[in-house]
């Protein structure tokens, strides 16, 4: 008996905070901080439980990469996400490509295998409310 399984929808929120935190190797409190800072906006159930989609996990992976590997603070990440939304370009992928090229050059001299890449971002990511407000009202975001 075969059961029809719908294709995965990257926008569909399915992961509770503990599972999402495990997937990106972070503490659930860290994900709450990212939400408070306006870096992501998970869906909520009627009982107010946070649910994260594949796109949210992808965004979390980028946030973790930028903070851990590139030394960018949360305000800088927020600015990068806002620029990426406004320009419609993949700034984060360019930064990652630059980092992997640097690592590849270093690794070729030491013989260390390269790190795995975080999932690519999409230009159609959901905009956190703080960024959406700033985009809708330019006077709010350019103070």
Mean pLDDT score, 111-120: 53
Q: Single out the residue of 127, 75, 74, 71 nearest to residue 95, CA to CA.
A: 71
Q: State the average pLDDT over residues 79-98.
A: 82
Position 19 scores a pLDDT of: 97
pLDDT for the residue 109: 66
User: Please, which pLDDT band fits residue 132 given cuts at 50, 70 and 90?
Assistant: very low
CA distances from 139 to 36, 87, 128, 133, 143 (A): 21, 18, 17, 10, 7
What percent of the chain clears pLDDT 90, i.e. is strictly above it? 47
List, for residues 19-66, the tens digit of each pLDDT value.
Answer: 999 999 999 999 999 999 999 999 999 999 999 999 999 999 999 999
Three-class secondary structure of residue 64 per DSSP: helix
Topology given in CATH for the domain delimited by 15-141: Multidrug-efflux Transporter Regulator; Chain: A; Domain 2 (1.10.1660)
Q: In this predicted model, which residue has the larger pLDDT, 109 or 123? A: 109
């Amino acid at each position: 008996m075969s059961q029809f399984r719908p294709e995965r929808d990257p926008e569909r929120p399915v992961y509770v905070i503990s599972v999402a935190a495990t997937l990106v190797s972070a503490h659930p409190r860290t994900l709450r901080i990212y939400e408070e800072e306006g870096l992501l906006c998970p869906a909520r159930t009627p009982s107010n439980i946070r649910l994260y989609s594949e796109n949210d996990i992808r965004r979390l992976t980028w946030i973790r990469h930028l903070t851990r590997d590139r030394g960018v603070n949360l305000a800088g990440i927020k600015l990068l996400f806002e620029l990426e939304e406004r320009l419609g370009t993949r700034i984060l992928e360019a930064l990652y490509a630059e980092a992997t090229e640097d690592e590849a050059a270093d690794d070729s001299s030491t013989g260390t295998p390269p790190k795995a890449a975080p999932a690519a971002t999409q230009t159609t990511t959901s905009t956190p409310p703080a960024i959406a407000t700033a985009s809708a009202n330019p006077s709010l975001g350019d103070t």
